[in-house]
Structure 1
Amino acid sequence: MAPVISSLNPNHGPPTGGTAVTINGSGFTGVTSVKFGIVAVASFTLVSDSQITTTAPAGTGSVALTVTSPLGTSNGVTYTYSVGPVITGLSPASGSTSGGNTVTISGSGFTGASSVHFGTASASFTVVSDTQITATAPGGTGSVPVTVTTSVATSSNVTYTYVNSTAPVITGLNPNQGPTSGGNTVTISGTGLSGTSSVLFGSHSATITAITSTQITVTAPGGAAQPVSVTVTTSAGTSNALPYFYITAPTIAGLIPTTGPGGGGNAVTIFGSSLALTSAVHFGSAAATNITVNSDSQITATAPPNVGTVLVTATTPGGTSTVGLGDAYYIYVAAPVINSLIPATGSVSGGDDVLISGSNFTYIDAVFFGTAPASFAAVSDTQVVATSPAGAVGPVIVTVHSSGGTSNGATFQYQL
């Protein structure tokens, strides 16, 4: 009966050949040749009727391994020529002499990797894919070759350099506070910052935009309204921590007064929440002046010149307030104008109803005959009816007042 092959160990090897292969089966006594495809091996050893050992010749692809005896040729069992692992890059390519940092190894043929070495030191590792391995660098000195070994072969090496360095130190954050939404730029100062691989705000990673040995610029991630620790990590280790404060955005619920003259200049009290760190107040797009923080729920500011109805906003490190509950709108009121008085004369004893015609009367809060206040009723934006107070014989100047200012004067004549 012709020999029978049941298995090969291993059933693969590098294209260069040289792999020791054990052939298992039966009927091997008297075997005269062993072939990998059409290539006969130079020599083989008959261990027993059920086992032969040999060395694979060079080859490519998958071939049928057969053995031949005087009784015939065996079945063929597949032997595959496999390309060994290849390393194309390390990230980072250097690290602290103390080791412990993660190194990403890029390349190909990593499936089934059995070991990773930094020089002669073995590293713990994880095969992420056929093209990537993550390894933890062992301690070491100088420049060493990194290699990956699989059952097929050991890769060519790529150099990894150990550097004498100390962990980074951070000394300042500017600013050290910001909105819960993140997105603001933070500058981190310190030493040993070159090669920074990550910056954490608590457990959240920041986006790094610039690095020097003494300064890092990052975009802060979002976070809850609380303090968190900021740390910097390089291949030499992780820095000390500095506090960063996430601030809730301010809200504005009300204003007193809610109207004022177009020229501005009047004091406005602003009510809301999270106002303690207010750095700017705007009436529309115009910046207010003389901002005073009275409490976390109240600030005062001097209204700037403007026109129309505008939204009042407060800005803190937590952001700028938006429209919410309450009323944050402020109305700029034009100064009232008097065109006529009907009648323009009246008794010195007062009590005459006088129709005042003009414009911008909606927000009138006072009418004066000379210096004497008069009772009044606003009929419309263009008409007010006032009751003349008592006065002395002769002319007086009638004026009206609103949050937009004091009107021009119109003459009223007191008679006996």
Structure 2
Amino acid sequence: MAAWRQELLSSVALALVVASLFPLGGPFTGGTAVTVTGIAFQDLGDVKCRFGEDEVQALLANETTIECASPGCTSPTCVRGQEETHVTVPLEVSMNGVTFTGSGLQFTYYDMRYVAVSHITPAGGPAAGATPLLVRGHALRDLSSGTAMGVRLQGLKCKFGENDMVHAYLWAMGDSRDKAGARCIAPTDLTWPGGVGANASVLHPMPLELTFNGYDTVGTLTSSGVPYTYYAPPAFNTSRLHPLGGPIHGGTVLTVYLTDARLLVDLGGDAHGVLCRFTHTRTVGVLGFERQHVVHEVVNASLTDCRGQRTCGAGWGAVSCRVPPLPPPLDTQLSPQYESSFDGRDVNVEVTVNGFDFTDGGLPFRYYDDTVWKLHRIEPSGGPLTGNTSLVARGLRFSSLGDVRCRFGPLNEEVNATIDEEQSIRCVSPAHWLHADNVVPLSSQRVEVELTLNGQDYLPTRQFGGGYTYYKLDDTQIGLSVARLEPPGGPEQGGTLVRVRGTGFDDVGGLFCKFGGESPVPASLVDREHVRCYSPQRTPNASSYVDDAFGGTYDERTVEVTINGQMHALTSSGVRFAYHTDAGVAVSRIYPRGGPRQGGTPVTVWGVGFRDLGHGRHTDVPTAAGLHCRFGGLELVPATLATEGGGGPQRLVCASPGLPAPVSSTSLVVRVTNNADNPPGGPALTDDDVAFTYYDSFNGNDDGRSTPYGATLLTHGSDWTGGDVL
């Protein structure tokens, strides 16, 4: 009987086949559920599993499956040394508790105390999952084994908090297991916390642990506590960029603001996670076979706190990166962007905080070609050291890219600017730093005006004549000043040609004279010390007239000059121009009332308002004196003011000019002008009916005191004030 039983058991053992087991290992503490698969499994009274020398009862699930739990590693064949972190033992099965298989399968015990997760890359991602991860740690292993019914029996898995585990696989990072990593893909976070509005959560951190044998029971998972942070995708989006564009050669510092600043965290883990991506499409191929080619340029970025500063958009927390150059055209690109007509290209800007998951959609950033933009001119090309000059840069293709400014040299303050219909940029010059620091410059200061559309990248204007000259007002040595006027007065009807003498005259945007209370009038530049302009008609204002000591009526107005066309840039020298009325300068009588035709008779003229409004002594002024007499339509003759003070009528003396033969009339009205013939034949002359009568002399030696035939001659002194007689 014993022999028969032994033969039967031997035949069963020969038919029994063990094919695989799952998992291939478990912790030293035991308790790992092990599934053994094979052929011809049957219960012969005592189904067991043997781990090394340790036997445990098993459950026959069916003829191909046996299930058992690993015992703790305590027998002489499973004793851990002081330095051991794992032990491998044979695992066999028995149907009768006596005869065990000899399949050669092995089960690995490992010490969880030496297993740890150290880094996760990236360390976070969207709540929807799908982020690929690299998990680094110590003593990582994969105890997967074979397949069952076409499904791989996965041992290495990632566990995200309370979410379901996901498969993982080992990623070799070196020659030893200590340098290995595990790769897995983050699942959807099904445990997202509640909350609405401001209380809604945007970040949900949780521990990411590993299991090597596919189980998440106590003792089989790592317990490192390294967090993986989920974030809410709706909150992770871009709200604005600053600036909105930059040059095609790149280098612009771009600031990207998120919809929710709470997501400004670097979730890159062991790698840098904050990046910017610049995306655009190009049409490539040949005609008729075009296709769209997507171009991505990814650059490193950083988290920054703008602290409300203008340079980064006056915000606070944001992502900052430096814009890369616009990629050059492809060989198969149909329309290269570097043609002369190219003036810009829009790209989408997206950001990521984990190095993988970018914002959706992005915001446009415009590249422009700073070699194509056009600047025609800058007006004016100069202004006072005190600043406040309104400047216009005229050109083409101007567009605001977030912060339009002007810069007047490297040391002066930058100023705001505006764009008018892409054709002009307007700004106001700042005070020159020398003026601001109360430093007296040795000369005028010339600077280069530079323009920026984005607050960073300045467009040089030197090649377009973009120089700007600062000058000092009312400085007779190095600046713009008015010293005197020639003549210093004229009739209220205006039209007097005024020669303005001074220093620093130029035309840097508009040369004008400004007579106090009147609109500015154009001026012409003679040289650096001389400009000309015509006095405007005086605006009636009776209260501004002042009577002088001799009965004349004058209105004195200051005359100032601007060389850049702007009234704030006028001089303030205080030099005055005296307007007079027709009645304010008048002739009441003369003595004598006649003389010989050949002229030369000294004539005393009485009246009011006589002034010598002289023209100075310059080569362009034939007569320096302003006070003249005119007899009828004859040439002006100089006059000398005889009354220097005291009250009563004024008097002057002039010599009668000769009466040419063609002139038939012998009685000519005597008129007086204070500022010579200026304007010629105009209202500067008095208009009174006091006449001088010419007569033929008795002989060639007439001394001018002879009388016509039959006339009665009465002789009086030159200061006689009686009746008018010939």
TM norm structure 1: 0.61
Alignment partner, residue 358 of structure 2 = 155
8 A contact 1:306–1:332 mirrored in 2:
yes
Q: Distance in 2 between matches of 1:292 and 1:396?
A: 37
Alignment partner, residue 300 of structure 1 = 532
Alignment partner, residue 258 of structure 2 = 107
Q: Distance in 1 between matches of 2:638 and 2:497?
A: 26
Q: Distance in 1 between matches of 2:318 and 2:451?
A: 31
Alignment partner, residue 30 of structure 1 = none
CA shift in 2, pair 1:410/1:137, >3 Å? same
Which of these residues, 465, 473, 489, is aligned with residue 259 of structure 1? 489
Alignment partner, residue 185 of structure 1 = 392
Return the offset for 1:217.
0.3
CA shift in 2, pair 1:183/1:79, >3 Å? same
Alignment partner, residue 324 of structure 2 = 137
Are 2:446 and 1:226 aligned?
yes
Within a 5 Å distance, the mapping from 1:202-221 to structure 2 comes to 202-203=409-410, 204=414, 207-212=417-422, 216-221=423-428
1:156 aligned partner, one-letter code: T
Q: What secondary structure, in the 3-state scheme, does the structure 1 residue paired with 2:390 have?
A: coil
1:59 aligned partner, one-letter code: W
Return the offset for 1:161.
8.2
Alignment partner, residue 333 of structure 1 = 580
8 A contact 1:179–1:318 mirrored in 2:
no
Q: What secondary structure, in the 3-state scheme, does the structure 2 residue paired with 1:125 have?
A: strand
Q: What secondary structure, in the 3-state scheme, does the structure 1 residue paired with 2:532 have?
A: strand
Q: What secondary structure, in the 3-state scheme, does the structure 1 residue paired with 2:643 have?
A: strand
8 A contact 1:230–1:242 mirrored in 2:
no
CA shift in 2, pair 1:167/1:298, >3 Å? closer
Within a 5 Å distance, the mapping from 1:276-355 to structure 2 comes to 276-277=506-507, 279-284=511-516, 285=518, 291-306=523-538, 308-317=555-564, 319-320=566-567, 322-325=570-573, 327-334=574-581, 335-337=584-586
1:294 aligned partner, one-letter code: V
CA shift in 2, pair 1:102/1:111, >3 Å? same
Return the offset for 1:199.
6.8
8 A contact 2:374–2:395 mirrored in 1:
yes
Q: What secondary structure, in the 3-state scheme, does the structure 2 residue paired with 1:172 have?
A: strand
Return the offset for 1:396.
11
CA shift in 2, pair 1:336/1:381, >3 Å? farther
CA shift in 2, pair 1:300/1:226, >3 Å? same
8 A contact 1:374–1:388 mirrored in 2:
yes
Return the offset for 1:218.
0.7
Return the offset for 1:208.
3.7
Are 2:383 and 1:383 aligned?
no
Q: Distance in 1 between matches of 2:638 and 2:391?
A: 57
Deviations 1:155-206 (A, max 9, x none): 33335689896832436215472435332222125xxx36564575555566
Q: Report the more deviating stretch, 88-97 or 132-141.
A: 88-97
2:502 aligned partner, one-letter code: G
Deviations 1:69-128 (A, max 9, x none): 69xxx9x99986544642345567787776555544332423435322335543143433
Q: Distance in 2 between matches of 1:162 and 1:261?
A: 62
Return the offset for 1:153.
6.9
8 A contact 2:297–2:324 mirrored in 1:
no
Q: Distance in 1 between matches of 2:398 and 2:627?
A: 70
8 A contact 2:487–2:499 mirrored in 1:
yes
Q: Distance in 2 between matches of 1:64 and 1:303?
A: 86
Q: Report the more deviating stretch, 239-248 or 225-234.
A: 225-234
Q: What secondary structure, in the 3-state scheme, does the structure 1 residue paired with 2:642 have?
A: strand
Which of these residues, 243, 261, 276, is aligned with residue 465 of structure 2? 243
Return the offset for 1:42.
3.9
8 A contact 2:163–2:191 mirrored in 1:
no
Q: Distance in 2 between matches of 1:170 and 1:209?
A: 14
Higher RCO (CA < 8 A, seq sep 6+): 1
Give the fraction of aligned pairs with identical amino acids, expressed as a percent.
Answer: 14
Return the offset for 1:226.
1.0
Alignment partner, residue 122 of structure 1 = 298
Return the offset for 1:399.
7.0
Q: Distance in 1 between matches of 2:326 and 2:640?
A: 93
1:305 aligned partner, one-letter code: Q
Which of these residues, 53, 58, 81, is aligned with residue 191 of structure 2? 58
Alignment partner, residue 86 of structure 1 = 237
8 A contact 1:110–1:133 mirrored in 2:
no
Q: Distance in 2 between matches of 1:323 and 1:17?
A: 73
Return the offset for 1:231.
6.0
Over alpha carbons, which structure has the higher Rg? Answer: 2
Q: Distance in 2 between matches of 1:217 and 1:372?
A: 55
Q: Distance in 2 between matches of 1:156 and 1:303?
A: 69
Q: Distance in 2 between matches of 1:337 and 1:144?
A: 80
8 A contact 1:399–1:406 mirrored in 2:
yes
8 A contact 1:100–1:139 mirrored in 2:
no
- Which structure 2 segments of 5+ residues have no match? 1-115, 138-158, 168-181, 194-200, 210-215, 267-272, 280-295, 306-316, 334-345, 433-444, 474-479, 540-554, 594-603, 614-625, 632-636, 656-666, 676-683, 693-711, 716-726
Q: What secondary structure, in the 3-state scheme, does the structure 2 residue paired with 1:324 have?
A: coil
TM norm structure 2: 0.39
8 A contact 1:366–1:373 mirrored in 2:
yes
Could you say which structure has the higher helix fraction? 2
Deviations 1:328-365 (A, max 9, x none): 21111234235689x999xxxxxxxx996x65457799
8 A contact 1:89–1:158 mirrored in 2:
no
Q: Distance in 2 between matches of 1:282 and 1:207?
A: 29
Q: Distance in 2 between matches of 1:367 and 1:166?
A: 65
CA shift in 2, pair 1:275/1:110, >3 Å? same
Deviations 1:10-52 (A, max 9, x none): 7976545688899x9xxxxxxxxxx99xx8454599xxxxxxx
Which of these residues, 362, 372, 396, is aligned with residue 168 of structure 1? 372
Q: Distance in 2 between matches of 1:406 and 1:381?
A: 21
Q: Distance in 2 between matches of 1:309 and 1:199?
A: 43
Could you say what the CA RMSD is over the residues aligned between the two structures, in angstroms? Answer: 5.8
Q: Distance in 1 between matches of 2:638 and 2:500?
A: 33
Q: Report the more deviating stretch, 380-389 or 108-117.
A: 380-389
CA shift in 2, pair 1:362/1:105, >3 Å? same
Q: Distance in 2 between matches of 1:15 and 1:303?
A: 80
Return the offset for 1:236.
12
Could you say which structure has the higher strand fraction? 1
CA shift in 2, pair 1:7/1:251, >3 Å? farther
8 A contact 1:116–1:123 mirrored in 2:
yes
8 A contact 1:362–1:378 mirrored in 2:
no
8 A contact 2:497–2:533 mirrored in 1:
yes
Q: What secondary structure, in the 3-state scheme, does the structure 2 residue paired with 1:226 have?
A: strand
Aligned length: 367
8 A contact 2:380–2:391 mirrored in 1:
no
